[in-house]
């Protein structure tokens, strides 16, 4: 991977090439009209050089972060920065990970990071900006979070005003999160069986990271008239003629992994068969940690044609804390057999592919982007200080990012690049200077020659994805060997103290 300069960007966009390196930029960031790349790190160097631009946390963490974080867990190799999670006792905590921040400070502009999540629940994969508290008088300490990402595909955005504290010591925070995976979580799930089964036991289980509510869990006998369409309605068992809900049959018993204790409230598993979705004692509320499971046992074998359940709790008109995953099984007398399952990771897994997260920050607005698309706009009127850029992998307590399990060990948040763009109305594509460069032959097979360059010029050749393949700090000869390059179109960039010159050639 290369260090990309403003001249490189001008080259690629002047040529009109579609390069993966810059394909995700929002339409507002027009590199032909004023925007330019001011600072970047492509992590194209040895691991020891990371310390030239970044500072690392070296020690334990506090609050909700349950891992210590160390420089050794931040590893640069093959053009990628990895923030590694390990199950090891260090710094008084049972896990380690990494958090780094820039030595340099930044202000208004467009920030972008391309990265993958660590592939396990419980991890917080963050690209964020923080001013610190040592700031000039009259300016605000802010934290801007384009993404505190949770596996597999949750994007969490935040804006914090750390300066203006309330009487109780709290501060203003404006969070908003997005499920970007393409699979919607539902309040109610209905599974009609293509072939009815006979069983005396049904099992529901989930590895959802925090406690959750199950309002009703209905196990219906086959019914020619169908099943409830509004599963959230109290009394849904009476919606369709002929319904028989085995969960409410005499002799049915319930066992569970646990329940969340709330003083003065019944949160036991029997609530899933009380016929009520909402109310002070209408739900089974699971424990916080570990696998959550519910077993429904019948007094005798029952024929089952449909299973339906509701989850979450209603706040105003919005259902909260819908589960991320579940599995339903029945016992055939010898073993558990799966009937149905759901996992939001089936829609997208951000540990498998890189995605870009961006933030446009001006004097009066903050905009957050995901893969170049605007997802949030936040107008603001407070004057803020300069920030540093942070890259952090954390493990969070209380299921805030999902269940913390041994699956985390050995995973990592992988960062391809970090880039910071600024705007200058006097900057545009027409800034290249110097006499015209001629390249011949074009197309070429084994070598290519340049006319119009001097020995002190530097020369770089890039492929169509922006990777620099050949570089000479000083062009001692005007003929370059390209025999090793695959067939295709290439860009050349020639830079001198007078400006830059660019163009394309074809290798055949």
Over its length of 508 residues, how does the chain's per-residue pLDDT go in tens digits? 334 444 444 444 344 443 334 446 898 888 767 788 888 899 989 999 999 999 999 999 999 999 999 999 999 999 999 999 999 999 999 999 999 999 999 999 999 999 999 999 999 999 999 998 888 888 889 999 999 999 999 999 999 998 888 888 888 999 999 888 768 889 999 999 999 999 999 999 998 888 899 999 999 999 999 999 999 888 899 999 999 999 999 999 999 999 998 888 899 999 999 988 776 568 999 998 889 999 999 999 999 999 999 999 888 888 888 998 999 999 999 999 999 999 888 889 999 999 999 999 999 999 999 999 999 999 988 778 899 999 999 999 988 898 899 999 999 999 999 999 998 765 433 333 345 677 888 888 888 888 877 777 888 888 866 778 888 887 766 788 899 998 888 888 887 766 667 777 888 8
> Do 220 and 311 have their domain in common?
yes
How far, CA to CA in Å, does 215 sit from each of 233, 309, 409, 477?
Answer: 10, 7, 34, 77
> Do 203 and 166 have their domain in common?
no
Residue 176 lies in a domain: yes
* Model pLDDT, residue 175: 93
Q: Which two tokens stand for residue 158?
A: 């935040």
Q: Which domain holds residue 146?
A: 54-181+349-422
- Residue 163 burial (CB count, 10 A): 17
> Do 206 and 337 have their domain in common?
yes
7 sits in which H/E element: helix 6-14
Residue 210 lies in a domain: yes
- In angstroms, the CA 356 to CA 370 distance is 6
> Do 403 and 442 have their domain in common?
no
The CA-CA-CA angle for residues 177, 325, 290, to 5°, reads 100
> Do 219 and 338 have their domain in common?
yes
Give the count of domains, the chain: 3
> Do 105 and 196 have their domain in common?
no
Residue 113 lies in a domain: yes
> Do 442 and 466 have their domain in common?
yes
> Do 438 and 467 have their domain in common?
yes
* Model pLDDT, residue 497: 65
* Model pLDDT, residue 471: 85
* Model pLDDT, residue 182: 67
Residue 370 lies in a domain: yes
- Domain termination residue (choose one: 422, 453, 471): 422
Residue 16 lies in a domain: no
- In angstroms, the CA 160 to CA 178 distance is 18
Chain center to CA of 336: 34
The CA-CA-CA angle for residues 400, 404, 408, to 5°, reads 125
Phi, psi dihedrals of residue 175, rounded to the nearest 5°: -90, 155
> Do 307 and 192 have their domain in common?
yes
- In angstroms, the CA 455 to CA 134 distance is 48
> Do 162 and 259 have their domain in common?
no
Is there a cis peptide before residue 213, judged by omega within 30 degrees of 0?
A: no
Kindly report the CATH number assigned to the domain that includes residue 480: 2.60.40.3080
Residue 13 lies in a domain: no
* Model pLDDT, residue 320: 86
> Do 418 and 445 have their domain in common?
no
> Do 278 and 385 have their domain in common?
no
- Please, what sign has the CA dihedral across residues 178, 39, 354, 403? negative
Kindly report the CATH number assigned to the domain that includes residue 65: 2.60.120.200
Q: Are 85 and 75 in contact (CB under 8 A)?
A: no
Residue 228 lies in a domain: yes
Residue 40 lies in a domain: no
67-69 and 499-507: which strand pairing?
unpaired
């Amino acid at each position: 991977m290369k260090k990309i300069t403003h001249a490189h960007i001008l080259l690629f966009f002047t040529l009109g090439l579609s390069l993966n390196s810059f394909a995700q930029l929002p339409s507002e960031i027009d590199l032909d009209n004023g925007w330019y790349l001011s600072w970047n790190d492509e992590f194209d160097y040895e691991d020891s050089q990371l310390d030239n631009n970044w500072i690392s946390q070296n020690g334990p963490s506090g609050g909700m972060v349950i891992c210590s974080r160390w420089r050794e867990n931040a590893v640069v190799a093959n053009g990628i920065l990895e923030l590694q999670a390990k199950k090891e006792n260090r710094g008084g905590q049972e896990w380690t990970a990494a958090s780094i921040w820039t030595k340099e400070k930044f202000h208004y502009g467009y920030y972008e990071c391309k990265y993958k999540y660590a592939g396990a629940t419980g991890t917080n994969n963050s690209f964020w900006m923080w001013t610190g508290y040592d700031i000039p008088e009259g300016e605000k300490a802010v934290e801007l979070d384009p993404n505190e990402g949770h596996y597999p595909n949750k994007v969490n955005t935040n804006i914090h005003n750390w300066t203006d504290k309330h009487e109780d010591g709290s501060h203003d925070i404006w969070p908003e999160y997005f499920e970007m995976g393409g699979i919607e979580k539902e309040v109610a799930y209905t599974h009609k069986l293509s072939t009815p089964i006979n069983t005396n036991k049904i099992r529901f289980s989930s590895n959802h990271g925090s406690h959750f509510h199950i309002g009703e869990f209905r196990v219906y006998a086959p019914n020619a008239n169908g099943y409830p369409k509004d599963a959230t309605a109290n009394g849904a068992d009476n919606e369709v003629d002929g319904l028989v809900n085995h969960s409410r049959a005499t002799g049915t018993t319930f066992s569970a992994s646990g329940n969340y204790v709330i003083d003065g409230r019944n949160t036991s598993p029997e609530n899933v068969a009380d016929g009520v979705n909402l109310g002070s004692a209408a739900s089974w509320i699971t424990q916080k940690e570990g696998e959550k499971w519910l077993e429904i046992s019948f007094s005798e074998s029952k024929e089952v044609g449909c299973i339906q359940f509701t989850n979450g709790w209603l706040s105003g008109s919005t259902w909260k804390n819908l589960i991320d995953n579940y599995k339903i099984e029945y016992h055939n007398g010898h073993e558990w057999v799966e009937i149905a399952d759901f996992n939001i990771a089936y829609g997208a897994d951000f540990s498998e592919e890189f995605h870009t997260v961006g933030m446009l920050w001006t004097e009066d607005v903050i905009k957050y982007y995901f893969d170049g698309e605007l997802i949030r706009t936040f107008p603001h009127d407070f004057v803020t200080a300069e920030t540093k850029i942070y890259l952090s992998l954390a493990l969070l307590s209380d299921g805030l990012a999902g269940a913390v399990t041994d699956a985390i060990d050995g995973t990592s948040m992988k960062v391809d690049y970090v880039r910071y763009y600024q705007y200058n109305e006097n900057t545009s594509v027409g800034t290249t200077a110097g006499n015209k460069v001629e390249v011949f032959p074009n197309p070429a097979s084994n070598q290519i020659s340049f006319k119009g360059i001097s020995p002190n010029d530097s020369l770089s050749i890039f492929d169509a994805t922006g990777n620099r393949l050949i570089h000479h700090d000083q062009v001692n000869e005007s003929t370059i060997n390209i025999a090793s390059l695959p067939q295709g179109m290439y860009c050349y960039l020639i830079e001198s103290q007078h400006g830059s010159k660019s163009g394309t050639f074809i290798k055949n």
